[in-house]
Amino acid sequence: MTTPPDELDAADPLAPFRDRFVIDDDLVAYLDGNSLGRLPRATLDRLAAFVREEWGGRLIRGWSEGWVDLPVEVGDELGAALLGAAAGQTVVADSTSVCIYKLLHAAVGLRPGRDQIVIDATNFPTDRYLVESVASARGMEVRWLEPDLVENVTADVLAAALDDRTAVVLLSHVDYRSGTLLDLPGLTRQVHEAGAVVIWDLCHSAGAVPIDLDAAEVDLAVGCTYKYVNAGPGAPAYVYVAQRHLTDAAQPIAGWWSAADLFAMSDTYEPSASVRRMLSGTPPVAGILAVQEGVRLIAEAGVDAVRTKSEQLTAYAVELVDELGLEVVTPRDPARRGSHVTVRHPDARAVTERLVERGVVPDFREPDLIRLGLSPLTTSYAEVAAAARILGEVTAPIG
Amino acid sequence: MTTPPDELDAADPLAPFRDRFVIDDDLVAYLDGNSLGRLPRATLDRLAAFVREEWGGRLIRGWSEGWVDLPVEVGDELGAALLGAAAGQTVVADSTSVCIYKLLHAAVGLRPGRDQIVIDATNFPTDRYLVESVASARGMEVRWLEPDLVENVTADVLAAALDDRTAVVLLSHVDYRSGTLLDLPGLTRQVHEAGAVVIWDLCHSAGAVPIDLDAAEVDLAVGCTYKYVNAGPGAPAYVYVAQRHLTDAAQPIAGWWSAADLFAMSDTYEPSASVRRMLSGTPPVAGILAVQEGVRLIAEAGVDAVRTKSEQLTAYAVELVDELGLEVVTPRDPARRGSHVTVRHPDARAVTERLVERGVVPDFREPDLIRLGLSPLTTSYAEVAAAARILGEVTAPIG
């Protein structure tokens, strides 16, 4: 017998954060904050003020009055609040895909003479496609890990692929399908022992799972902001470059915003000595402000409190799905999962459609997975309970 | 004796468009719409509705309800209204720098066996830096044109650099410093006669100068939207790929949004057969909507009417600056210039600062240039006259 959801919500120290978001939709349960987070009220106000007063009122002067520094300023805030990154190593820029591309080139350049990039076949498509593209451009080989979806990349799986040909390993901190949380410090150490460089894709973890990139001596990292950071559809991504690599991390999209002196309009290109070298073109100001508001909400709640609620939400979801007799794919040990719970069902696509018709929004992943994304600042236990009830109804055998 | 500005404004058929923009700043004259255009009122409303109702209210469902098509949908609108591009060849994406990078790689791939990229030393820094980066990555040589700043790239200048080693020529339609408008159809023909591919950078022309990419048989083009398209600071860019090149134009930032089936999450990468292949990551939805509103205003005014006013505004500015006895750098033939007029002054930086103090915002370009950007939908003749009067005062010899 599970605890009634209203008791859990009443006892939830993060429950008041739900009121900091716009929630006036027609939904019974929004369980897709791991694809697109809800809209913070502060962001609504901030964007309106930015458009009307800053763009409309300050016009070009806005650049010298602060916009020019936003990629690094918000990068530093995000790094401190979510990534365990000291200032000067994180910058908000582009899309995740463009950032992965830049980091792959930078990483390969840090290990001349080595000719393999390692990635798992379970990784998100954009990561896999970009690894193939960069490997091909640099005359390298892709070495594929083929882990079990749920166990995902363990020390043993990784060990079998590492040798003195390994230049770079690209791993996702939380698997986008199973929700499995990888051992970031341990796998990072293992990559380093093989003399290679690691890139961590934090898309499905940052904002929901505590991360300490500096302490783990991670080399490079990347993530998006439209999931648990709640920065809106197509919000910009971020990259992290460890201080020790800043001088040598060379990325090829050498636009003017990566140059040492942005407005010198210099004859020759000299990359910035700072993390600005990871920029390329003019940054999307409104998008970065939305990132800043999203980051501040998480910082205010505290990543540890967020993680605690995430573990409890996922445990509650696992318990309720178990009661329905459906298959939970996600690891049962809370320490081994991120903030979504994945259910396997032979008719997953149809079940997802029926859930949406009933006002429950999860998402579907080919071929047979239903992801229940639990976003700690906005998801209530009542939502999880309602979703589980309706999931039971739409999957119940007829008659 | 010049015509009084109020008579010119009264006779201006585009004058009513000024009211379609937010103009409530503290400025006497905003002459930097060629760096950052003003805020359209429609954009203010559209962005507010998007954030509140679409992101806040539809959440993840927004993607399937229309956001997913925006890059191509708005690309088509922009192509039709501003570029003379039939549907299916233009897509809104990334920043100008990232788009130039993609197009350079695509262009090089269209001419295997040729090993030179041609660009002028007068081109915008980001274009030059990216040509150097891509040339280096592809084992190619950069062949520099060294034209006079004002004459810029003429047929003679270009002819001297073209031969059977030329793979790609990257040119800016309007020079960002002098305002010189290049002969896009003629130079395109010349590049083709040499068997090479041309990329046109339209940043400083599109939205102010009529363009007919299809008629001129341009291969590839790129531009920004925060200048004459008035889409806001850091708004996304666009790329154009001629239909005949779509099958072979290969760009290396092979993110999931460039794949044939976005949500198949396929094991192997297959680029989209459409212009979507030029995308990489998740597109910035709000930014694209702002592009759409900006494009619609220009479409409503009509590019030809915009061009007519642009020519008259620049002629008026040239006349007034002449009266002050200052040096006009921009070509005197309206057919040979875009929509900004550049003044050379030995103390250009200080003069710019004094103008800004007096409420006139132009912009300064190293070492001695002051650009007066005249944005046809928003700049009034009264602004130009006031700016010229104050320019006279701040440059007048003392005593």
Give pLDDT, residue A221.
99
Judgement on whether residues B22 and B171 belong to the same structural domain of the protein: no
Judgement on whether residues A294 and A307 belong to the same structural domain of the protein: no
> What mean pLDDT, rounded, does chain B reach?
96
**pLDDT higher than 90, residue B25:** no
Chain B residues with CB inside 8 Å of A125's CB? Answer: 256, 259, 265-266, 269
pTM: 0.98
A316 within domain boundaries: yes
B41 within domain boundaries: no
Determine the residue among B64, B97, B131 to mutate to test chain A binding: the one whose Cβ has the most chain A Cβ atoms within 10 Å. B97
* Mean pLDDT, residues B259-273 taken together: 87
Judgement on whether residues B141 and B205 belong to the same structural domain of the protein: yes
> What mean pLDDT, rounded, does chain A reach?
96
Q: Which residue has the tokens 């191509």?
A: B72
Yes or no, beta carbons of A134 and B252 under 8 Å apart: yes
Give pLDDT, residue A262.
85
Determine the residue among B280, B285, B289, B365 to mutate to test chain A binding: the one whose Cβ has the most chain A Cβ atoms within 10 Å. B280
Judgement on whether residues B292 and B308 belong to the same structural domain of the protein: no
**Confidence band for B348, pLDDT divided at 50, 70 and 90:** very high
Chain A residues with CB inside 8 Å of B60's CB? Answer: 32, 35-36, 361, 363
Give pLDDT, residue B301.
98
Taking the CA of residue A288 and the nearest CA in chain B, the distance in Å comes to: 10
B38 within domain boundaries: no
The partner residue sitting opposite B285, judged by closest CB among A234, A252, A365, is A234
Chain B residues with CB inside 8 Å of A233's CB? Answer: 55, 62-63, 67, 282, 284-286
Helix (H, G, I), strand (E, B), or coil: what is residue A3?
coil
Instruction: Decide if A226 is catalytic.
Output: yes
- pLDDT digit string (tens) for B86-104? 999 999 999 999 999 999 9
Yes or no, beta carbons of A254 and B95 under 8 Å apart: no
Per-residue H/E/C for chain B: CCCCHHHHHHHCCCHHHHHHECCCCCCCEECECCCCCCCEHHHHHHHHHHHHHHHHHHCCHHHHCCHHHHHHHHHHHHHHHHHCCCCCCEEEECCHHHHHHHHHHHHHHHCCCCCEEEEECCCCHHHHHHHHHHHHHCCCEEEEECCCCCCCCCHHHHHCCCCCCEEEEEEECECCCCCEECCHHHHHHHHHHCCCEEEEECCCCECCECCCCCCCCCCEEEECCCCCCCCCCCCCEEEEECHHHCCCCCCCCCCHHHECCCCCCCCCCCECCCHHHHCCCCCCHHHHHHHHHHHHHHHHHCHHHHHHHHHHHHHHHHHHHHHCCCEECCCCCHHHECCEEEEECCCHHHHHHHHHHCCEECEEECCCEEEEECCCCCCCHHHHHHHHHHHHHHHCCCC
Instruction: Decide if A102 is catalytic.
Output: no
A328 within domain boundaries: yes
Judgement on whether residues A181 and A251 belong to the same structural domain of the protein: yes
The partner residue sitting opposite A52, judged by closest CB among B32, B44, B98, is B44
| Total count of domains within chain A | 2
The CATH number for B247's domain is 3.40.640.10
Judgement on whether residues A64 and A153 belong to the same structural domain of the protein: yes
Judgement on whether residues B109 and B253 belong to the same structural domain of the protein: yes
Q: Which of A36-40, A261-265, A326-330 has the lowest mean pLDDT?
A: A261-265
Find the helix or strand (DSSP H, E) in which A348 lies. Answer: helix A348-357
Instruction: Decide if A124 is catalytic.
Output: yes
Judgement on whether residues A348 and A213 belong to the same structural domain of the protein: no
Among residues A299, A332, A357, the one where a domain terminates is A299
Provide the chain B residues 162-221 that lie in CB contact (below 8 A) with chain A: none
A36 in contact with chain B, both atoms CB, cutoff 8 A = yes
Q: Predicted ipTM?
A: 0.97
Judgement on whether residues B373 and B313 belong to the same structural domain of the protein: yes
Among residues B255, B270, B299, the one where a domain terminates is B299
> In chain A, what percentage of residues exceed pLDDT 70?
99
Taking the CA of residue A30 and the nearest CA in chain B, the distance in Å comes to: 9
Judgement on whether residues B101 and B164 belong to the same structural domain of the protein: yes
B256 within domain boundaries: yes
* Mean pLDDT, residues A70-94 taken together: 98
**Confidence band for A263, pLDDT divided at 50, 70 and 90:** confident
The CATH number for B363's domain is 3.90.1150.10
Taking the CA of residue A124 and the nearest CA in chain B, the distance in Å comes to: 8
A39 within domain boundaries: no
B36 within domain boundaries: no
**pLDDT higher than 90, residue B146:** yes
Determine the residue among A103, A268, A282 to mutate to test chain B binding: the one whose Cβ has the most chain B Cβ atoms within 10 Å. A282
Provide the chain A residues 114-153 that lie in CB contact (below 8 A) with chain B: 121, 124-126, 128-130, 132-134, 137
- pLDDT digit string (tens) for A190-217? 999 999 999 999 999 999 999 999 999 9
Taking the CA of residue B263 and the nearest CA in chain A, the distance in Å comes to: 8
User: Can you give the residue range of the structural domain that contains A370?
Assistant: 5-30+302-395
B188 within domain boundaries: yes
Chain B residues with CB inside 8 Å of A365's CB? Answer: 265
Instruction: Decide if A381 is catalytic.
Output: no
Determine the residue among A19, A98, A136 to mutate to test chain B binding: the one whose Cβ has the most chain B Cβ atoms within 10 Å. A98
Which residues on adjacent β-strands are paired with residue B327? B344
Judgement on whether residues A54 and A181 belong to the same structural domain of the protein: yes
Chain B residues with CB inside 8 Å of A47's CB? Answer: 47, 51, 286
Q: For chains A and B, what is the number of CB pairs under 8 angstroms?
A: 260
Give the number of other Cβ atoms within 10 Å of residue B10's Cβ. Answer: 10
Burial (CB count within 10 angstroms: exposed 0-12, middle 13-18, buried 19+), residue A308: middle
Yes or no, beta carbons of A281 and B51 under 8 Å apart: no
Give pLDDT, residue B265.
73
Catalytic residue chosen out of the listed positions A201, A228, A309, A316: A201
B266 in contact with chain A, both atoms CB, cutoff 8 A = yes
Give pLDDT, residue B266.
75
* Mean pLDDT, residues A239-251 taken together: 98
Find the helix or strand (DSSP H, E) in which A306 lies. Answer: helix A303-324
* Mean pLDDT, residues B38-56 taken together: 97
**pLDDT higher than 60, residue B399:** no
Closest CA to A95 of B203, B274, B258: B258
Instruction: Decide if B263 is catalytic.
Output: no
**pLDDT higher than 60, residue A399:** no
- pLDDT digit string (tens) for A13-55? 999 999 999 998 789 999 999 999 999 999 999 999 999 999 9
Judgement on whether residues B267 and B322 belong to the same structural domain of the protein: no
Among residues A268, A299, A330, the one where a domain terminates is A299
Cα A335 to Cα A314: distance, rounded to the nearest angstrom: 11
Yes or no, beta carbons of A59 and B27 under 8 Å apart: yes
B30 in contact with chain A, both atoms CB, cutoff 8 A = yes
B68 in contact with chain A, both atoms CB, cutoff 8 A = no
